């Protein structure tokens, strides 16, 4: 993210067990990806692709790095060329952190493209080859339904993501592919350094019934569950992981 408040870090994960005939064998790669998601979410913004790949190998997976704009045609084509995937996790985190009147059309296009349209592009590329029992998860945030300072474009993009998840869940259900989302409360990561109201956001995140911030591991556990066979009848759902924060009448 630049000093102007424009973030350009986007990440999505995909994993294959190598055995598309047995969806019940997906748990190990799912746990590996979810564990890495937790580590990467708490890691410095400067974590390199090579370091991420090294962490994946340590968790028992063999990564294939695809570098580029996650919303681009080229990246979608490369993802499609990977072959059958058991899990696709779209965790794009990008946007322009400014009041609505200080944004322009290019900010809108960039944010909506990476955070929402990319999930559709990646799904179009991957879903035709995904086996029954596979799972797609989009990572959202409470800004999709709550108004947060300077979060206009990102919040709108996450609302679009959640709507897309519902439509994809219905369309892909006959193929045996689950589609869900995870919406997390405030998580203390390097991304918060780019918010002018960082301390206020952290304080808001702590004011939940549990009394602590959501951790990257909390989010990873939710992703793991949604990608497991135990979540077979959960479709088009946005699982909120915020310690009960969004339940409170006074925010």
Mean pLDDT by 10 residues, the chain (251 residues): 36 50 35 45 52 80 82 91 91 85 96 94 95 95 90 95 98 98 81 66 79 87 93 98 87 61
How much of the chain, in percent, has pLDDT values that exceed 90? Answer: 46
Provide the CATH number for the domain around residue 90. Answer: 3.40.50.720
Beta bridge partners of 98: 151
pTM, two decimals, is: 0.82
Q: In this structure, is residue 175 part of a structural domain?
A: yes
Domain that residue 34 falls in: 6-243
9: CB partners within 8 A, 6+ apart:
1, 45, 93, 94, 191
Distance CA 22, CA 44 (A): 36
The tokens describing 138, both together, are: 């989009």
Count of domains for the chain: 1
pLDDT digits (tens, 9 = 90+) for 177-218: 999 999 988 876 666 666 666 676 677 778 889 988 888 889
Q: Tell me the catalytic residues.
A: 151, 158
Q: In this structure, is residue 249 part of a structural domain?
A: no
């Amino acid at each position: 993210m630049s000093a102007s408040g424009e973030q350009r870090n986007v990440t999505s994960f995909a994993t294959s067990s190598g055995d598309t005939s047995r969806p019940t064998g997906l748990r190990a790669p799912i746990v590996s990806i979810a564990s890495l998601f937790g580590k990467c979410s708490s890691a410095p913004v400067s974590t390199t692709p090579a370091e991420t790949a090294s962490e994946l190998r340590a968790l028992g997976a063999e990564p294939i790095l695809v570098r580029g704009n996650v919303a681009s045609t080229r990246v979608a084509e490369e993802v499609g060329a990977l072959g059958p995937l058991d899990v696709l996790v779209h965790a794009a985190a990008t946007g322009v952190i400014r009041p609505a009147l200080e944004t322009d059309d290019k900010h809108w296009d960039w944010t909506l493209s990476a955070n929402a349209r990319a999930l559709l592009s990646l799904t179009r590329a991957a879903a035709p080859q995904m086996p029954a029992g596979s799972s797609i998860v989009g990572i959202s945030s409470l800004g999709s339904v709550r108004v947060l300072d300077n979060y206009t474009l990102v919040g709108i993009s996450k609302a679009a993501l959640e709507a897309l998840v519902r439509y994809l869940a219905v369309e892909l259900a006959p193929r045996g592919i689950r589609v869900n989302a995870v919406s997390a409360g405030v998580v203390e990561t390097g991304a918060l350094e780019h918010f002018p109201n960082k301390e206020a956001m952290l304080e808001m995140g702590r004011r939940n019934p549990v009394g602590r911030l959501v951790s990257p591991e909390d989010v990873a556990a939710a992703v793991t569950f949604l990608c497991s066979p135990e979540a077979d009848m959960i479709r088009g759902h946005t699982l909120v992981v915020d310690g009960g924060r969004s339940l409170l009448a006074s925010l």
